[in-house]
Structure 1
């Protein structure tokens, strides 16, 4: 049993059903080679273990380019993994393709980042909601479509309208309704509110929380802003350069982040009080290229605690001062974040 799996069981319950399991998942995208040179590969996801159980919401956070969206597509089998294993509700679906994936789609669905791009502009809302049913060989009734709209806060009159007639928040509600059509147990939400206004973000997050309680859903909520998932996540996984560098109960990670990268992300969260003291940690340099990541710890080129050992072997997720909170760092922080701004 992996350390991640054990921590999840302790938090959710020993008997909680395992909905999703990723074991050593990697995804490399090939690049055309320059003449007389070996073709390079983009290591978008480079060895990730993750377990999601029934009734929990996992927040998957990290800055742009960390591999979050690629991992979400691997979990839903929209992409084939280069290495590793994907298990959904106890079934190994790593090599399942084509029509054999249809039963799997009923267990796990995805809500995409941009609702305008993910909805067909030539189809009415009724047709959009009918498509998932037809893919499963089901002919839905009008009452079923209306029920889906009511669940996301829309009405029957919206069935005949087209995506361009809605606001961004309403379009995302339609995307959520489409994902709920086949009654999945797990929703992978890829930056579901990043394209929305701040006021609308709160409404959509509240909707997801209400649906979780009403339908017993589980979520993997992908975001680059830690403040977005703070109120809804039970467990937090922080990604950097294709790997998970910190994982644990959300309350513990927010209260005492152990990995320097997580601390830097949390220090960038806006504070509503302009007079409040800021614990700002400013990282230098850019994210390394996933074509040629650093040796050892992937964060060492930007870390303010780097030492020689960090360049040797990549650290693995290990408990921080005991418990379920884990970090992949040779020198994890064991106290609360610093109180003064600094630039490493």
Structure 2
């Protein structure tokens, strides 16, 4: 198939990637906070479509069905599928149902359990066709997927969000949207362990902004307090998490390092749990996808494994390399469907 666009409908972002003759030529991520309603998704499609253009086929996956806009995940799948059909070229829209393959939008409700949050499966399915054996770690704005691929097959023990949370293959921590209060219960401040204020005063974007870990364009959500995305404002938000003002004279970058370390430990622990099954050989690399490449690289170092960028395994236009990794499930769908 000459041209395919993959779409990944998340709870906070819409991601898309365009493949032409098996090559990723462009990718884009647009803010789309579904907690504000489906109008946010309609606006995101309107912004992304001119960049993606017309296609022979539009393949859609999703995680946004978990948004509390919907009364249930099944309702979310049905309404997001309908929104995609409405926004795109209706007769050319196909849904990705993971283990059930590609299906027509009309079958969305019947395959809701297969479609729901199956974007990780798309990336892993493509990876299974490439190096064949690796540990995929995809760190996005909100979550981190950890998926073993062995001998050309997905070796995940879980499929649904609930199953994957239980076995360490889904970690609810991301580079920008995760609340700092979800990372730890206390932090070292002025030589003492200080309990954190149980409020959403700061998120991990503040932490990684102070540590210069944020690439351009990856933090598309408003800050916790509505104030600017500056170093000074991030310091003030972190100070508030420990009941202080930024003028109190603490090393706020050091505090940020501690929160980042706590997050890395959480992901490393989950990766070690998955690796402890003994299914991956010691030489199997970690394939890093998503916006958290630097974090994944450190996890790989701690596990004693090489780290390979997802985009380096693809045929991708040079200007789209970073975006293809940031939008890995969408890119994977565009390539998988092009060979289907």
**TM-score, normalization: structure 1?**
0.29
Structure with max Cα Rg: 1
**TM-score, normalization: structure 2?**
0.29
| Richer in helix (by share) | 2
Greater RCO (CA < 8 Å, at least 6 residues apart): 2
